[in-house]
A and B are shown apart, each in its own frame.
Chain A
């Protein structure tokens, strides 16, 4: 019967496709014994596919109009940039690895914390390679905010790229004295119901983490995920949030999906506060004309999370040599200086000033300062270390069960 034959054909094709997905992966190219000159030589003429978050025009401008032409001119490398955040990167790599694809789509990815943790979980990162990069000698690896990514030693599997700190943003025209402690925040929100909320995304979770550390005391939650400690302090945290909840935006019955939605509500005037993982964002957004000129960034007295973001090379990247050369360029003093300027991107540098050649040290010292956020030095006094990734995963789930669904 012909329809049986059709069924049979379809089924065998199905099986073939599934089996093809299970073939074993081969070992990676080895760069151990190559000198930097040899690596650079190999890199010439290659194309690097970089996947990164492209949600900010300043960042895109820096990448497209500075980095792309520079690496082309200096090293003969074509840099393609594709849009995609942590979860996209993880799922691309997961499906590539699950399918046994030896040459993936991506050569370079912009990651931190949770994504780093997940990529290490699925053995998706190539390395260690940081020491291979000549410019890595300038990196401030003594700084715990750079050396550890969410409590995990980077161990040469990622290249530190920039450093930022979480800030609260308020409109000084409407809020002359922003609340600086947890209790002051409760009082403020009670007096101005509906003016505050928490984004149900990475930034919102960073805010919750800052509160959690504030309750536990700095250092208490360092190291690997500690279930008991988490239970103790998170129940305090949910008690605190539940005190705020009736006075939050929409009576705390729902929360903005992400921080972009929160910015929109802040600009509309529905909210008095928004938040950002990047301490320079307020300056950028004012320059863009999106935030009012009266917007200001600040941090709570108990401090907020400071973290770094990194670049990694997928284990199945087809052009690892070129990817390393691009990495090395991105941590060069010139590229880092430009990136740190408030009128370019305003991203904190990962280089140690005392390790830089004198001329660059001076240039960094003379850099124009930002206007609407506290200086980096004063933020440093209120900087908290990131917690192990499991804390955020747990907070995200518990925020849903203890707050959103209540």
Chain B
């Protein structure tokens, strides 16, 4: 979005509207960032002992911070990849049955669950004393609950990824199905077929590329949502490495008041990394829903 030149506003009403929008959304955000910045430099804060770069140096040199950052991106990328693959599969092969009746309804169901509830559900089902473990024990597959594989609070974030994927697959499936119908993808595909394209070519040269291109901004926004998630990694994650939100809240709210500025540094760095990535991504692609671009 770019505001260039006075011609942008056709009337005073429009200008007022945009001003209000900026005041209500952009201004608080900027104030928050400014506050975090001042706090992280020791300029404000009850415990501050004067301007210092110590908190920035501390955080930049902290392996825990970089590990957490990497881990956060790992979780988000795996989640979004699995989700997109699953949702594409559902859309391209099972669209008919999922657009009506019980399957259709069941697709909407997970959308109604808040993140914290999903986290608890995954915990109840997948922990070592959970439902799956009990079933495996009843069937004689495992001798006691400790031999059940670690699926929550585990090294690879399986629980976190499972919970996020559970929430995201229905959302993307419905979205892809609507795109599929709305963009008349079937029509394009038929044209290609009549020109001699095989089913594989129809899928991978026409249907999947159109869906992905159309959905691209939404996929990126959802990735950011996963990057910033809190409850799910809090309940299903490990004590180390932690996803960024969990790490930041710990530094902000746990026992030591001295780590509060570090929390702001971590938040600002996390934000900077995301904004940089967004700029790079959208610089190379047009931020538009228009197919012609």
Q: Within residues 200 to 245 of chain A, which ones have a CB less than 8 A from any CB in chain B? A: 200, 205
Q: Which residues from A are CB-within-8-Å of B9?
A: 2
Q: Are A10 and B257 in contact (CB under 8 A)?
A: no
A265 interface residue (CB < 8 Å to B): yes
Instruction: Report the minimal beta-carbon distance from A401 to chain B, rounded to whole angstroms.
Output: 8
- The number of chain B residues with a CB under 8 A from chain A is 41
Given B15, B27, B46, B129, which contacts A94 in the complex, CB threshold below 8 Å? B46
Q: Mark A231-275, 1 if CB is under 8 A from B, else 0.
A: 000000000000000000010011101000000010011100000
Instruction: Report the separation of the CA atoms of residues A254 and B154 in the bound assembly, to the nearest whole angstrom.
Output: 8
Binds A, one of B16-24, B49-57, B210-218: B16-24
Residues of B contacting A396 in the complex (Cβ-Cβ under 8 angstroms): 254-256
Q: Which residue of A lies closest to B44 (CB)?
A: A98
* A400 CB–B CB distance under 8 Å: yes
- Tell whether, in the assembled complex, residue A10 and residue B46 are in contact, meaning their CB atoms are under 8 Å apart: no
Q: With A2-B15, A6-B22, A97-B46 in contact, do A255 and B239 touch (Cβ < 8 Å)?
A: yes
| Contacts A87-B253, A118-B257; A269 near B47 (Cβ below 8 A) | no
Q: How far is the CA of A69 from the CA of B255 in the complex (A)?
A: 35
Q: A98-B46, A114-B255 are in contact. Are A10 and B153 (CB under 8 A)?
A: no
- Which one, A13-21, A55-63, A134-142, A369-377, is touching chain B? A13-21
* Bound CA–CA A118/B47 (angstroms): 10
Q: Which residues of A contact B127 (CB under 8 A)?
A: 268, 270
Chain A residues within 8 Å of chain B by Cβ, number: 41
> Of A10, A88, A254, A270, which contacts B239 at CB under 8 A?
A254
Contact (Cβ within 8 A) B129 A10: no
Residues of A with C-beta under 8 A to B6: 1-3
Q: Is B34 an interface residue (CB 8 A)?
A: yes
B146 x A257 contact (CB < 8 A): no
Taking the closest CB of chain B, its distance from the CB of A146, in whole angstroms, is 23
CB distance from B59 to the nearest CB of A (A): 15
Shortest distance in angstroms between B255's beta carbon and chain A's nearest beta carbon? Answer: 5
Q: A9-B19, A90-B257 are in contact. Are A269 and B146 (CB under 8 A)?
A: no
Q: Which residues of A contact B (CB under 8 A)?
A: 1-3, 6, 9-10, 13-14, 17-18, 87-88, 90-91, 94, 97-98, 114, 118, 121-122, 193-194, 200, 205, 250, 253-255, 257, 265, 268-270, 392-393, 396-397, 400, 404-405
List chain B positions with a Cβ less than 8 A from chain A: 3-6, 8-9, 15, 18-19, 22-23, 26-27, 30-31, 34-35, 44-47, 64, 127-129, 145-146, 150, 153, 155, 234-235, 238-240, 252-257
* List of 10 A-B pairs having minimum Cβ-Cβ separation, nearest first: A268-B129, A254-B238, A87-B253, A194-B146, A270-B129, A122-B46, A404-B239, A393-B256, A3-B3, A404-B240
